[in-house]
Amino acid sequence: MKKDSIIVHILYLALFVFIGCVIYQCTDTTDCKYTANRSLKLNFTQLSSNNKLVDTIVSGLTVTTSNGIALYDSVSAKQLQLPLSQLSDTSIFYFYFDSIAIDTMYVFAKRTIEMISPECGFNTRFLLDSAKCSLNNITRIMVVDKNIGENAQTDRNLNLVIKKRPKLGQ
């Protein structure tokens, strides 16, 4: 009988540990926040009079995806965050400057899919490979940081060098 009693106690202990692990795993969702902010950060820059890049604000800007979804509509911005495609290594964006000049930007990124947890599901990590543009109003694209969304301290992933634009009404 002592042997049966010990086995029952061991089974209860194992069940208790299992339930404790399941409860802990179901309530700990801090890893789920990891999936947030997986956007490409880009800044608009111009060449200053002494040929240095300086951040600039672009006004009257509309940005859409290749599917026609408006991400920004007639905004003034120094920095934008653009979502990358979960289905393709290429993301395409259209930039409308004052509804006149249109630039098409292609962003090429390597995707890695990883399991976070059963509660949070899967996450896609992006590593920026390159970017190119139609070069109408955007004269050059410079890669600053290839790791997209990995570090909250990252200021930007791309610099978009734009032409000097006349003020409206001039």
pLDDT digits (tens, 9 = 90+) for 7-23: 766 766 666 666 655 55
For residues 77-92, average pLDDT = 92
7 and 76 share one domain: no
> How many whole angstroms separate alpha carbon 45 and alpha carbon 51?
12
127 and 99 share one domain: yes
Judged against a pLDDT cut of 80, whether residue 86 lies above it is answered with yes
22 and 95 share one domain: no
Q: What are phi and psi of 26, to 5 degrees?
A: -75, -25
| 124/35: higher pLDDT | 124
Distances (CA, A) of 157 to 110, 139, 163: 14, 17, 20
55 and 126 share one domain: yes
Quote the pLDDT of residue 100. Answer: 74
- Rounded to the nearest integer, the mean pLDDT of the chain is 81
Contact 84, 39 (CB under 8 A): yes
- Which residues, other chains included, contact 102 with Cβ-Cβ below 8 Å and sequence gap of 6+? 94, 95, 96, 134, 136
| 23/135: higher pLDDT | 135
Quote the pLDDT of residue 164. Answer: 74
Distances (CA, A) of 132 to 88, 103, 105: 16, 10, 6
Domain coverage including residue 9 = 1-35
User: Is residue 113 assigned to a domain?
Assistant: yes
For residues 144-163, average pLDDT = 85
Judged against a pLDDT cut of 90, whether residue 92 lies above it is answered with yes
Domain count, the chain: 2
> How many whole angstroms separate alpha carbon 125 and alpha carbon 38?
8
User: Is residue 131 assigned to a domain?
Assistant: yes
User: Is residue 170 assigned to a domain?
Assistant: no
Q: Which of 13-27, 112-126, 127-141 has the highest mean pLDDT?
A: 127-141
Least confident of 42-46, 97-101, 154-158: 97-101
- The Cα angle at residue 147 between residues 146 and 149, in degrees rounded to 5: 135
20 and 99 share one domain: no
| 123/132: higher pLDDT | 132
29 and 53 share one domain: no
